Amino acid sequence: MPDLQDKRILLGITGGVAAYKAAELTRLLVKAGAEVRVAMSAAAMQFVTPLTFQALSGKPVLTRLWDADVDSGMAHIEFTRGVDAVLIAPASADFIAKLVYGLADDLLSTLCLARACPLLVAPAMNRQMWENPATQRNIRQLRADGVAILGPAAGEQACGETGLGRMQEPAELLAGLSAYFQPKLLAGLRVLVSAGPTLEMIDPVRALTNISSGKMGYAVARAAQEAGAAVTLVSGATCLDAPLGVTRLSVTSAEDMAQAVDSVVGDMDIFISVAAVADYRPATRTAQKIKKSERTLTLDLLPNKDILQEVASCSDAAFCVGFAAETDNLLEYGEAKRQRKQLPLLVVNRAQDALGSDDNELLLLDDAGSHWLPRADKLTLARQLVAHIERLYSQKTRGNHAAPN
C-alpha cells in the first residue's frame, strides 16, 4: 500500500486474546512501508511477549512510563511527536473506558492522552461486553471526540460465543488505516455503485453472462467509501467481499439489478455504473435442463433495459457516471455513447485488457475532453477516478447554486 509508505505508526496493544493478531498486523504494516513503534500495556504482555514485536518492528517495544532510552524521561511526550497516527489494536473495553475519561495510569494510556496525532481504535471483546450500554456510550463518546473506530467484526469468539466483538482481521485493519489517510472528498454524499456481471438464465443450469470479475466496481466502491461517502453497492455474482463500511445489495439478472438500482437511486447524489450488465436475455427460460443433442440450438434474445440511461434521463437524476468496455476505437465509440446517454462523465477501458485483471488503464471522457489514467492497480485508478468525479460534481453543484443574472 503506497499510501502507508513512510507513515509513522504507533501501534498500541492492550490485554486480550486478540493480541496475537497484532503481530501479523505489525508485519503487514512494516511490509507496507510504514515505520512502526509498538507500545504494550501490562495486560497485553500476559498474552504476547514484547520480544515478538521487537523482532517484527525492528524497534524496542515501549512498556514502561519512564523508559530508559528517552533522555528527558518524558516517554509519553516523546513517542507521539512526529507520529502520523496511533492505532490501538486490540482495544479492550477497559482501555476504551480509560480513553473516554482521560485516565492515564500507564505508558499506553498516557501516550494516548498526550498525543498530537489522530487516534484509531480497534475494539476486541466478548459479545456481552460490546453490547453493554456502558461500552456503547463509550464508543459514541470516542466518535464524538474524533476517534476513528475500526470494527468490531462479528464471528466466533474465544469464549465460544458468536456475535459482534471480534477484532477485525489484520488485513482489514491495514485497509482501514489506509482508508483513514485518504482525502475525504465525498464527505456527506451518498454514492451508488453497480458492479460485476449479470446472469441471464437459459435453464436451471445455464446462463448468458460475461467475464467481468467485479474488481473495478468494488475498487470504486471502496475508493468512494474511503473518500467519506455513504456507499451502496449493487453487485452481480462475484467472488469478492464487499469493502468495509459499504452496504451491498446482491442481484443476479439485469432485471434484478434494474429493480435494486431503482429502489435506492432516488436517495443518491452520485451513481457510478460500473456493472457489466448483459445486453440481452433469453426470450424464454425453460423450467428443466435443456438436453444436449446433435441439433443446432437457437435462442431468441430480447434486449435488456439500459439501467444507466433510464436513471440519467430522469429530471432529478443523480450525477451519473458510466463505464464502457470497448475493443477498439475507444475515443470514438466512448464519446458517442456518452453523448447518446447524456452523461457528464464516461469511463472507457479496453475490454481485452481490463476484464478479470488486477490492473487497468482508463480513458475519461467529459465535456472538457479526454483524460488518460495510465496503467495502475484498480484501487489506485478508482481513487483517481473518485477525485475526478468530485471535481465535476462540485462544478455542477456550484453551477446549480449560482445566483441568477
Taking a C-beta distance cutoff of 8 angstroms, is the pair 257, 176 a contact? no
User: 119-129 burial, b for 16+ CB within 10 Å, e for fewer?
Assistant: bbbbbbbbbeb
The dihedrals phi and psi of 68, each to the nearest 5 degrees, come to -70, -20
Q: Cell numbers for 180, please give them.
A: 483513514
Q: Are 60 and 32 in contact (CB under 8 A)?
A: no
Active site residues: 159
**Which of 26-32's residues contact partners 24+ apart within 8 Å by CB, and which partners?**
26/53, 26/56, 26/57, 27/56, 27/170, 28/170, 28/171, 28/174, 29/4, 29/174, 29/177, 30/56, 30/57, 30/58, 32/1, 32/4, 32/5, 32/174, 32/178
CA 230/CA 245 separation, integer angstroms: 8
